[in-house]
Chain A
């Protein structure tokens, strides 16, 4: 019994799958810098751009949409808390004239307009980074990523392998959590995932099993000679055709352009000053 897991590598041969891992990492770095540094309006355009790229990832629509069921609830506190907190601290923040009012169920709620705007900006930036990371995660085989880190970036292979394990652990933990949910459903246990009871019933056993599994995996790796040799052999060498090099050049150029836009917007300078 197994399900396709939304946070793991999705096997495929899409154009994004064919781009080498290092190029995708460069692109992701560019997007992250851009998301943090560029004005928020630009991030909405970036989000649209990522949606446009998504069909080239080979990931089916259902898989693509599923993370939103997690992302959107995660946004809620980011969007709702700043208007309230900024309003409460309006004197200290110099937002005395920024207060707006919302009537809800006969109650009047005061909030900070700037805070609401700020919350939406965080959500937009988070979405850009989240979707870009997922596209890389879905289309990059962790093994290729490790090999690329070791052979192209000259990273020590033990550290590269730590990244690999972190990547493959995401679907494993997700799988554990899914099976645990099945068990709770079958045993008729009612719980809310975000409650303390839900945490105890769902998260703690999954964390426990995952930690123990982590120990077993380490044991298994050690027993199979991991770390015996200072230089690890990979059974295939990395050979990229010319067009991969050209794509990498184009991606590097695009990443530099994104970085330039982010710097030109002046946001980094403001962040540095503050």
Chain B
């Protein structure tokens, strides 16, 4: 704590009723690292309360999974726990925020008191990068805290090695892909060995290999250091067993808080809140119904539970494999020959040759930094290739003064990884009307309502991350492009919104659009793609129809890909 333990409350603190205050005090548990007692939070006095009446105690060594719908208050809660609210972000906090047992709303505490004990990795890794190289970035906090040089080097080396970043140690951080930046941000937090590690959607940008590498590492580091771990994630199927407790928050309130197996057993609550329900949990619920006394945390556990209940495992209709895709003899929409892209001396794409037929849904997958976004932007005509040719609908791309000209009559839609890049107008309504001036006000209101946006006059930049993504997809889809390219469209979306985005994509596909989707979501690929292309270090290392790709012809692990959960279920049941 700060040397001057002044008793005057900070400006942001405000008193609660005596009962709430007592409840806040009573909530403190032994071994608690961080705690909240009857906390309310609003960004300004008189404004909407974002967090309401929160009681939460985070003990040493606890591993808490924080779940909730988009816009439910998860990120705000994490900012509060990290001390950024109200010290940097501002706002009005009522109730008790305890750091090592001291009420920081009564005893003056600085952010330094929090940052010495609590490390946070925020949702957007790009915006928290401070230094130029990976090594500098990881050492940054350690240097700030004045650790001995030998200790800084040892911890930096260890974090780099454990996060699998030895090859990019001296790489310039802004040249890395989104997923690589996310790994850097996680490595930074791990190197600090904090008492409480807070992670806001740390895996949403990572390739399957990155996730598989990083998540056990986070849990192991937390275990080794005795750190408490608080993490949000939409898709937690692959690592549910690493957590001990689940907290569900929606509309700023805690709806459930308890041991993970107990909380996840209430599948109805998860469904009601539009949360991503792991496939094995949905299947176990379908098989066991009310007989499911506790939630399984993996597919193996789910199958074992079903067996123990004396039920023969089957596949209810919703778990059947996707219908096979018919072999296509449609003409090619895109033809790529000898395509190479270099930035300065760095060759990002190497002599690619492929064709994409009309009406295909091509999933472009691969490690972070393999060149997927560069390929997508080149196909869209934004990047001028250094060699080779692209032909779209029979019209070869031509370039003049660094710009592609003469695209012909083929409209191309592109949904960016960070949707803000594509917004052109000052209101969400105008954004939808771009290219569709025929849309009436009522239609705009309906279209926005479907994606959870109430105010047509709202500026697109004022939306939450998830809302921006949905708006980006919807505005692009409305143009009915012949070719739609989407870069991580379901990134950071909860189940409800993911389904909305997928429905938009499918509707467009049914209308004849060819789709190229960059994604790490293996489930989406398994259900929707007709063809899978894998990129590695700028080269296509696998390219096959979905059935062939997932039919055993391709070794997913070698390509750094995880098995889609639905396929894993089918394979497991075949063995049974």
Which residues of A come within 8 Å of B, CB atoms? Answer: 1-5, 8-9, 11, 60, 62-63, 141-143, 165, 168, 171-172, 175, 179-187, 189, 201, 205, 208-209, 212-213, 216-229, 231-237
Q: Is the CB of B153 within 8 A of A235?
A: yes
Q: Is the CB of A229 within 8 A of B145?
A: yes
CA distance A1 to B140 in the complex (A): 25
Q: Is the CB of B128 within 8 A of A216?
A: yes
In the assembled complex, how far is the CB of residue B462 from the closest CB belonging to chain A, in whole angstroms?
11
Give every chain B residue within 8 A of A165 (Cβ-Cβ).
Answer: 130
Which residues, 118 to 136 on B, are CB-close (under 8 Å) to A?
119-120, 122, 124, 126-133, 136
Q: Is the CB of A183 within 8 A of B422?
A: yes
Q: Is the CB of B141 within 8 A of A225?
A: yes
- What are some 20 contacts across the A-B interface (CB < 8 A)? A1-B348, A2-B176, A2-B343, A4-B345, A168-B132, A179-B421, A186-B377, A186-B414, A187-B422, A213-B126, A220-B122, A221-B130, A222-B87, A223-B114, A223-B115, A225-B145, A228-B145, A229-B145, A233-B147, A235-B149
Checking A11, A220, A235 against B156 with a beta-carbon cut-off of 8 angstroms, the contacting residue is: A235
Q: Is the CB of A228 within 8 A of B377?
A: no
CA distance A102 to B148 in the complex (A): 70
Q: Is the CB of A189 within 8 A of B146?
A: no
Which residues, 346 to 387 on B, are CB-close (under 8 Å) to A?
346, 348, 371, 373-374, 377, 380-383
Give every chain B residue within 8 A of A222 (Cβ-Cβ).
Answer: 84, 87-88, 111, 115
Q: Is the CB of B146 within 8 A of A142?
A: no
Given contacts A168-B131, A233-B143, is CB(A186)–CB(B346) below 8 Å? no
Residue among A168, A227, A233, A235 with max Cβ neighbours from chain B (10 Å): A235
CA distance A221 to B124 in the complex (A): 14
In the assembled complex, how far is the CB of residue B396 from the closest CB belonging to chain A, in whole angstroms?
17
Q: A4-B346, A224-B115 are in contact. List 12 more A-B contacts (CB 8 A).
A: A168-B174, A185-B404, A205-B420, A219-B84, A220-B128, A220-B129, A224-B144, A225-B115, A227-B112, A235-B152, A235-B156, A236-B149
Q: Is the CB of A175 within 8 A of B420?
A: no
Residue among B130, B140, B374 with max Cβ neighbours from chain A (10 Å): B130
In the assembled complex, how far is the CB of residue B469 from the closest CB belonging to chain A, in whole angstroms?
14
Q: Is the CB of B146 within 8 A of A217?
A: no
Minimum-distance CB pairs A-B, first 8: A216-B127, A4-B344, A220-B128, A1-B373, A182-B382, A224-B141, A225-B144, A2-B175
Give every chain B residue within 8 A of A4 (Cβ-Cβ).
Answer: 175, 343-346
Is B491 an interface residue, CB under 8 A from the partner?
Answer: no
Give every chain B residue within 8 A of A1 (Cβ-Cβ).
Answer: 177, 348, 371, 373-374, 377, 383
Is B279 an interface residue, CB under 8 A from the partner?
Answer: no
Contact with A along B158-195 (1 / 0, CB 8 A): 00000000000010101111000000000010001000
Give every chain B residue within 8 A of A180 (Cβ-Cβ).
Answer: 421
Least CB separation from B125: chain A residue: A220
Checking B344, B381, B416 against A62 with a beta-carbon cut-off of 8 angstroms, the contacting residue is: B344
Give every chain B residue within 8 A of A142 (Cβ-Cβ).
Answer: 132
Q: Is the CB of A217 within 8 A of B130?
A: yes
In the assembled complex, how far is the CB of residue A228 from the closest CB belonging to chain B, in whole angstroms?
4
Given contacts A208-B461, A229-B146, A235-B156, is CB(A183)–CB(B421) below 8 Å? yes
Checking A5, A8, A212, A234 against B143 with a beta-carbon cut-off of 8 angstroms, the contacting residue is: A234
CA distance A233 to B150 in the complex (A): 11
Which residues, 303 to 351 on B, are CB-close (under 8 Å) to A?
343-346, 348
Give how many B residues have a beta carbon under 8 Å from the other chain's beta carbons. 72
Q: Is the CB of B344 within 8 A of A63?
A: yes
In the assembled complex, how far is the CB of residue A149 from the closest CB belonging to chain B, in whole angstroms?
15
In the assembled complex, how far is the CB of residue A11 from the closest CB belonging to chain B, in whole angstroms?
7
CA distance A60 to B172 in the complex (A): 18
CA distance A224 to B116 in the complex (A): 8
Give every chain B residue within 8 A of A233 (Cβ-Cβ).
Answer: 142-143, 146-149, 152
CA distance A229 to B116 in the complex (A): 11
Is B496 an interface residue, CB under 8 A from the partner?
Answer: no
Q: Is the CB of B172 within 8 A of A11?
A: yes
Least CB separation from B380: chain A residue: A186
Give every chain A residue within 8 A of B149 (Cβ-Cβ).
Answer: 233-237
Is B423 an interface residue, CB under 8 A from the partner?
Answer: yes
Q: Is the CB of A217 within 8 A of B129?
A: yes
Checking B82, B126, B152 against A223 with a beta-carbon cut-off of 8 angstroms, the contacting residue is: B82
CA distance A218 to B404 in the complex (A): 38
Q: Is the CB of A216 within 8 A of B124?
A: yes
CA distance A233 to B131 in the complex (A): 15
Least CB separation from A185: chain B residue: B382
Give every chain B residue within 8 A of A225 (Cβ-Cβ).
Answer: 112, 115-116, 141, 144-145
Give every chain B residue within 8 A of A201 (Cβ-Cβ).
Answer: 424
In the assembled complex, how far is the CB of residue B391 from the closest CB belonging to chain A, in whole angstroms?
18
Give every chain A residue within 8 A of B146 (Cβ-Cβ).
Answer: 228-229, 231-233
Give every chain B residue within 8 A of A234 (Cβ-Cβ).
Answer: 143, 149
Q: Is the CB of B424 within 8 A of A187?
A: yes
Residue among A1, A185, A201, A209 with max Cβ neighbours from chain B (10 Å): A1
Give every chain A residue within 8 A of B114 (Cβ-Cβ).
Answer: 223
Is B231 an interface residue, CB under 8 A from the partner?
Answer: no
Give every chain B residue within 8 A of A228 (Cβ-Cβ).
Answer: 112, 115-116, 144-146
Residue among B139, B175, B381, B383 with max Cβ neighbours from chain A (10 Å): B175
In the assembled complex, how far is the CB of residue B459 from the closest CB belonging to chain A, in whole angstroms?
10
CA distance A213 to B136 in the complex (A): 19
In the assembled complex, how far is the CB of residue A195 from the closest CB belonging to chain B, in whole angstroms?
15
Is B430 an interface residue, CB under 8 A from the partner?
Answer: no
Q: Is the CB of B176 within 8 A of A220?
A: no
Q: Is the CB of B404 within 8 A of A60?
A: no
Give every chain B residue within 8 A of A219 (Cβ-Cβ).
Answer: 84, 88-89, 122, 128
Least CB separation from A9: chain B residue: B132
Is B447 an interface residue, CB under 8 A from the partner?
Answer: no
Is B223 an interface residue, CB under 8 A from the partner?
Answer: no
Give every chain A residue within 8 A of B574 (Cβ-Cβ).
Answer: none
Residue among A60, A183, A232 with max Cβ neighbours from chain B (10 Å): A183
CA distance A168 to B129 in the complex (A): 10
Give every chain A residue within 8 A of B176 (Cβ-Cβ).
Answer: 2
Is B434 an interface residue, CB under 8 A from the partner?
Answer: yes
Q: Is the CB of A186 within 8 A of B412?
A: yes
Least CB separation from B142: chain A residue: A235
Least CB separation from A224: chain B residue: B141
Least CB separation from A201: chain B residue: B424
CA distance A141 to B132 in the complex (A): 8
Give every chain B residue within 8 A of A227 (Cβ-Cβ).
Answer: 112, 144
Q: Is the CB of B424 within 8 A of A189?
A: yes
Q: Is the CB of B144 within 8 A of A171?
A: no
Least CB separation from B345: chain A residue: A60
Give every chain A residue within 8 A of B414 (Cβ-Cβ).
Answer: 183, 186-187
Least CB separation from B128: chain A residue: A220
In the assembled complex, how far is the CB of residue B179 from the closest CB belonging to chain A, in whole angstroms?
12
